[in-house]
Amino acid sequence: MTVAATRVTNRDTRLETVVVDGPLALRMMRLEAARSGARGLQILTLAQLAARLAGGFARPAGREDLEPALTAALGEGGFAELSPLERMPGAVRALARTFERLWLAGVDLGAPDASPRLLDLGLIERRVRNRLGPGVLIPPDLANAGQGRVGMAAALLGPVRFQHIDWIAPVWRPLIAAMAQATSVVDAPDAAGSDAPPAASRVLICADPHSEVVEALRWARELIATGRAAPQEIAIAAVAPGPWDETLQVLVASSGLPVHISHGTPVLGTVDGQACAALVEILGQGLSQERVRRWLAHSAGRCSGLAGMADDPLQGVPAQARLDDLAQWIRALQLAQSRRADGARPATALGPALERLSLGWAAAETSGEALLPSSAGRVWRAALQAGPPEAMAFSLAGLRIADGTDPGNSIVWCPAAHLAGAPRRFVRLLGLTAGGWPRSLATDPLLPDHILTLDGDRAPTRPQIDRRVFAQISRHAEDLSLSYARRNARGGLQAPSPLLPAGVTPHSLARQRVPEHAFSEADRLAARPQEARAEPRFVAAQDCWRARRVAELNAHDGLIQPDHPVIESALGRPQSATSLRRLLRDPQGYVWRYALGWRATVAIEPPLELDARAMGDLVHLLLQRTVNRLEQGPGFGRASAQEVEDALDAARDATMVDWPLEHAVPPPRLWRYSLEQARSVALRALRLDPNFEPGTRSWTEVRFGDPEAPEPGAGAPWDARTPVPAPGTPLSIQGAIDRLELDNGDQRARVTDYKTGAPPPAPKDLRLGGGAELQRVLYAIAVAHHRPDARISSRLVFLAEEAPKPYRLSGDDLDAARAAVTQYLNAAVTLARAGTCLPGPKDAWEDWNALRIALPAAAEPYAKLKEPAMNRAFGDFTAVWRAR
């Protein structure tokens, strides 16, 4: 078969051209042609029409062509007035809008007597022409090229029909006039357009913009459900969709309605957009673990710069460490390598990428190619073309992509200008407020009226365009609903638009009314409380709400099944001082944390200061490193004051480097200050008192009862993996003794519990502190288990005092404290096994309790209401909280 045999000519098929305006009209007209089986029909915009006449692969310059050319033209400089624009965010977009206005108005920028501003724009225009690819033409050049070949209009276009176009820009008018001499041109409107009165309509008043969207979707659902309209016959539009866009997209996602968004969806709402946003955040704000994890979640295994990287590349890196510079990252990855079982080398695989990211915006040009998936890389390049790298966040926010739906079987949500080019039968227009439709006058920021004034025929103002669009939509709609919000999104009152038809009484839609047709399941339940009450989720929530407001205790307060296996499992594990404190002072918190495994979300934002717990851990680490260093040398007991300070300084320097690899720390200057404060506190502990006899051995952070502890070293006092039972109870204990000292014959032992806070009132009488101060007693129990013949002295030291004093328990006092701990722990175990897992009266409601969020928000009324019943349920156990 030859090519000539298959060629379709004007003798076989009558060639015809339809000219439309806007992306919605283009897609709808092509769909209509396909459904009707049309042959020889060309559907074009005015710019495409000119390109078809121009021939030679000519095409209109799109935004993807203009923005890189404008960026390069600005970068060449040499302007009289526009030099400040060269690196300003948004300059390229502003120039694109200005040139679009000038080109469509047919303004000649090459006049020699023009103003300096126009001369600058003319220079940019010439540079853009030179940078556009072959056949890519701006509107004036395209119109001239088409006019030069207008004699071929009949052969190339056939009869030309304009579809729903009521205004033609001056740049195309000479071409259209010349075409009319060469071929048939019908329905070509005059330049003034049409001012036909709007169709009869309904005016609806909503509470706010959110309510406008809700009511519009309910209206669309009703039209479809009742069979009055098909989705492709329905349109919802606003003159500028921005204020409603986000709300509508969120509600549509839950509604199941087929909705086509003709102006596209924000690229930041896509996976690729979020991948780009993650990279922008690192380049703009620097490295941090949160930012790197977010970027890796999008890019790991999907880009060339991370090829060969192991699964879970940050395995072994503590989640709470911030890691805000490259050196910290490399050290953290090297440490993580020793904790991995797969033998992966994350520092080798991830290090080069992190080094590139640490360069910031200097690496923006190459980062998108190497450190993003290929599809996200295309988005990255488009954002770079829209502005300088430093403005990437703004460039990404302005990018939109096709929503992936077909307008031919969907409701359309669009700007009113798109709907004017493709009218529909059932239309709802939003935002008809004064100043909202028509919009107020806006001057071109680069070319204000005092530099160049254009009349309304050459460059219509925004109010003129909005009025013309409103008239066009109204003229073709069979069912027109107009709505406006009584208040704007900030709560300000709004007046109705002057475009609303006179003589039509507005109908106010109450926010809490019951609609005949809800647009989604959530809308149905919100509007019909009687139906919501039957939903299991709502029933459970209502039951909890009521149960928390009656004086009797119930399952919602913490009463559970006796001898529950989850409780037994939690009690069967080794208990720390922290878990036992919860068991004694907040039984419900113990169940939540240790039986159910609830944990607070790790927050890795940099704190401005270390909290009390972090400061305590830091002081304990300095003490441990200092004592360990001295024990490897002269021994802590024989070390001089200067040797102690030197060892402490060495511990501080090492901690400054490696503590941020495991923990969140303040900014550098505040971190150094915090470390100096911790050193001062640690020095008080080291200078507290001498050892009780020559030859005493000292240890810090001595672990006990920990099944996951490493094998003991040569100098360890015992095997930390050995179980340590709590005598007289079914529990075993584990932990780390802050400081342990043993004499030469292991006949005397002294344990110290360091507190970095201030002492409570009457510290001399403090033994257990109502279950809050268990450490020194538990330390004594652990030492007694490993050294049963030793005489033990256990002391508590508050290091916040300038001259700290030890508060000792020994002899009969220590025995009494151990007996009390045994009694209280047995009572707590009995309470937990009985299923009385209620919140404690104090710890449960403290601000530092991370689990407080699961308790009733109105703490005081709840506690007051339930207090009598809780006291009865706790019974004699309340004596624990009163014990000194």
Please say which residue of 487, 508, 529 terminates a domain: 508
CA–CA separation, 505 vs 349, rounded Å?
A: 69
The pLDDT value given to residue 605: 67
Please say which residue of 143, 163, 186 terminates a domain: 186
User: 4 CB contacts (<8 Å, ≥6 apart)?
Assistant: none
DSSP per residue, 810-843:
EHHHHHHHHHHHHHHHHHHHHHHHTTB-PPPSSG
Q: Are residues 636 and 732 in the same domain?
A: yes
Q: Are residues 260 and 134 in the same domain?
A: no
pLDDT tens digits, residue range 149-159?
Answer: 999 999 999 99
Return the CATH number at 245: 3.40.50.300
User: 421 CB contacts (<8 Å, ≥6 apart)?
Assistant: 20, 21, 22, 24, 25, 163, 164, 165
Q: Are residues 387 and 427 in the same domain?
A: no
Q: What average pLDDT does the chain have?
A: 87
pLDDT tens digits, residue range 172-201?
Answer: 999 999 999 999 998 755 444 444 445 557
- Residue 661 has which token pair? 């690899």
In a domain, 135, yes or no: yes
DSSP category for residue 591: I
- Residue 472 has which token pair? 């066009």
The pLDDT value given to residue 718: 93
pLDDT category of residue 692 using cuts at 50, 70 and 90: low
CA–CA separation, 685 vs 695, rounded Å?
A: 20
Q: Are residues 86 and 181 in the same domain?
A: yes
In a domain, 380, yes or no: yes
Q: Are residues 693 and 794 in the same domain?
A: yes
Q: Are residues 651 and 796 in the same domain?
A: yes
CA–CA separation, 205 vs 496, rounded Å?
A: 9
The pLDDT value given to residue 763: 66
Q: What is the CA radius of gyration of the chain?
A: 38
Please say which residue of 186, 211, 237 terminates a domain: 186
CA–CA separation, 459 vs 827, rounded Å?
A: 86
For 356, the 3-state DSSP assignment is helix
For 869, the 3-state DSSP assignment is helix
In a domain, 551, yes or no: no
In a domain, 252, yes or no: yes
CA–CA separation, 884 vs 817, rounded Å?
A: 10
Residue type (1 letter), 485: A
The pLDDT value given to residue 227: 94
Q: Are residues 143 and 106 in the same domain?
A: yes
Query: What percent of the chain lies above the pLDDT cut of 70?
Result: 95
CA–CA separation, 391 vs 393, rounded Å?
A: 6
pLDDT at 491 over 80: yes
Report the sign of the C-alpha dihedral through residues 654, 657, 663, 669, in that order. Answer: positive
What 3 state SS string does 400-419 have?
A: EECCCCCHHHCEEEEEHHHH
pLDDT at 662 over 50: yes
CA–CA separation, 587 vs 431, rounded Å?
A: 56
User: 861 CB contacts (<8 Å, ≥6 apart)?
Assistant: none
CA 528 to chain centre: 33
pLDDT at 4 over 70: no
Lowest mean pLDDT among 386-400, 579-593, 628-642: 628-642
DSSP category for residue 639: -
The pLDDT value given to residue 809: 87
The pLDDT value given to residue 32: 92
CA–CA separation, 247 vs 286, rounded Å?
A: 32
What count of other Cβ atoms lies within 10 Å of the Cβ of residue 821? 26
In a domain, 726, yes or no: yes
In a domain, 547, yes or no: no
pLDDT tens digits, residue range 211-267?
Answer: 999 999 999 999 999 999 999 999 999 999 999 999 999 999 989 899 999 999 999
Peptide bond between residue 438 and the one before it cis (omega within 30 degrees of 0): yes
pLDDT category of residue 859 using cuts at 50, 70 and 90: confident
What count of other Cβ atoms lies within 10 Å of the Cβ of residue 442? 9
Q: Do 223 and 523 touch, CB atoms closer than 8 A?
A: no
pLDDT (average), residues 694-706: 86
Q: Are residues 101 and 243 in the same domain?
A: no
The pLDDT value given to residue 238: 96
pLDDT (average), residues 453-457: 85
CA 742 to chain centre: 54
pLDDT (average), residues 105-130: 87
pLDDT tens digits, residue range 259-284?
Answer: 999 999 999 989 999 999 999 999 99
Number of domains observed in the structure of the chain: 4
* CA distance to 629, 687, 747, 858, per residue, from 644 (Å): 9, 9, 26, 51
pLDDT (average), residues 487-495: 89
In a domain, 586, yes or no: no
The pLDDT value given to residue 52: 93
CA–CA separation, 128 vs 133, rounded Å?
A: 10
Helix axes 577-585, 775-786, angle to 10 degrees: 130
* CA distance to 28, 222, 233, 426, 432, per residue, from 474 (Å): 19, 21, 15, 10, 13
- Residue 201 has which token pair? 């309509």
The pLDDT value given to residue 346: 73
Query: What percent of the chain lies above the pLDDT cut of 90?
Result: 47
The pLDDT value given to residue 191: 41
Long-range contacts of 182-187 (CB under 8 A, 24+ apart): 182/150, 182/151, 182/152, 182/153, 182/154, 183/153, 183/154, 183/157, 183/158, 183/159, 184/159, 184/160, 185/159, 185/160, 185/161, 186/159, 186/160, 186/161, 186/162, 187/161, 187/162, 187/163
Q: Do 856 and 588 touch, CB atoms closer than 8 A?
A: no
pLDDT at 602 over 70: no
What count of other Cβ atoms lies within 10 Å of the Cβ of residue 643? 15
Q: Are residues 106 and 252 in the same domain?
A: no
CA–CA separation, 854 vs 877, rounded Å?
A: 24
pLDDT at 472 over 60: yes
Q: Are residues 231 and 297 in the same domain?
A: no
pLDDT tens digits, residue range 294-353?
Answer: 999 998 878 888 877 777 888 888 888 888 889 888 888 888 887 777 777 777 778 888
Q: How many CA atoms lie within 13 A of 504 on its CB side?
A: 22
Q: Do 178 and 147 touch, CB atoms closer than 8 A?
A: yes
CA angle 638, 640, 646 (to 5 degrees): 120
Q: Are residues 141 and 164 in the same domain?
A: yes
CA–CA separation, 299 vs 840, rounded Å?
A: 46
CA 34 to chain centre: 43
In a domain, 542, yes or no: no
Q: Are residues 260 and 272 in the same domain?
A: no
pLDDT category of residue 784 using cuts at 50, 70 and 90: very high
User: 108 CB contacts (<8 Å, ≥6 apart)?
Assistant: none
Q: Which domain holds residue 732?
A: 612-761+778-811
pLDDT category of residue 31 using cuts at 50, 70 and 90: very high
The pLDDT value given to residue 443: 85
For 201, the 3-state DSSP assignment is strand
The pLDDT value given to residue 567: 95
CA–CA separation, 106 vs 454, rounded Å?
A: 10
DSSP category for residue 313: T
